Amino acid sequence: MDSPAEASVELGAITRNIAALRAHVAPAALMAVVKANGYGHGAVPAARAAVRGGADWLGVVHVAEALELRRAGIDVPLLCLMAIGSDNHAAAIAADVDLAAGSADMVRRLAAVAEAVGRPARVHLKADTGLSRGGATAADWPSVLAAARQARDDGNVVIAGLWSHFASADEPGNPSIQAQLTVFKEALAVAEGAGITPQVRHIANTAAALDVPEARYDLVRVGGGGYGLATLPGGPPAWLRPAMTLRTRLVLVKRVPAGTGVSYGHRYTTSRETTLGLVPLGYADGIPRTATGLPLVAVRGRRWRIAGTVCMDQMVIDFGDEPVAEGDEVVLFGPGDDGEPTAQEWGEALGTISYEIVTGIGARVPRSHRE
């Protein structure tokens, strides 16, 4: 292995997280979302771990992600949440992948492909209830339903789901949560009036699955929660375990005198004779440049500040008189078992969320998987 770094993934943690979440949201079914390479954890191994934990469905964003899972032999119900722009709908329909549609035009396109394939497309119709991203507005919703009903009656579409997505479910008490639930109920009622009864209704993400029981409906979509992460204030509940640990080793250690400028721009200067250690990870590997100066690295059971600018491929730690040595393990984040930072702490320190931290770890950092 060329890289001394690795992102180690505890698959058993994913399995246990999914099992715990499934029990928490029962009787609703649970979809484990494994988009973005399983939130950086590895899509196929994460999906298999989630299925072992009892995931009833899997969710991805792109058709290519769905087909990767099917090629790996994973045959549970699978929803592609954003099939827009794909030119491979035929392969998805043939592989029994459910597809999302948020416009009448998308429904008609999927119906035409299904007719050519000779197999109905399983479609989840998306209502925009207030996120103002994908999905049909209340004004456009009737036309989406009409197109879907016609395609269903023609035998080209199965209306498998009606769904939406929250804007602020990770802000407990935010008035938009109840506002969106009201709009979703209205969308479901309009669908019922149009003679459409879906197999599943779903709006809850991880935050809503944990904190908004009335949002669970028939199915919840759990993304970060399956990996032991959450965007709720304070992070995930203690019964969810972060699955990824990012570690590497010191590749160089040296003593330098007081007044030594460190890294680009000399944004850090040593105040006394000290030991510097070189960590072979940088912003090309997903370590944000804004982490400069923050105590987000654990070595020898202690936390240390990043000294000077985070570079593309490396960064420097000022260890003072700590007797560190080349080859010492460096942990950037993990589950926190030994006092190391967590992805939640990284996110809070940098003004972002843990999801961005784990999905941002670059492809040249090898993933390893263990139970």
Q: Which residues are catalytic?
A: 35, 264
Other C-beta atoms closer than 10 Å to the C-beta of 4 total 17
Provide the strand spans (E) within 11-92. 29-33, 57-60, 78-80
Residue 32 Cα distances to 15, 60, 220, angstroms = 10, 9, 9
145: left (phi over 0), alpha (psi -120 to 50) or beta: alpha
Peptide bond before residue 288 is cis, with ω within 30 degrees of 0: no
Distance (Å, whole) CA 144 – CA 137: 10
Alpha helices in 169-318 (DSSP H): 175-193, 206-211
Query: Are 277 and 324 in contact, with CB atoms under 8 Å apart?
Result: yes
Phi, psi of 111 (to 5 degrees): -65, -40
Contacts with 23 (C-beta within 8 Å, 6 or more apart), sequence order: none
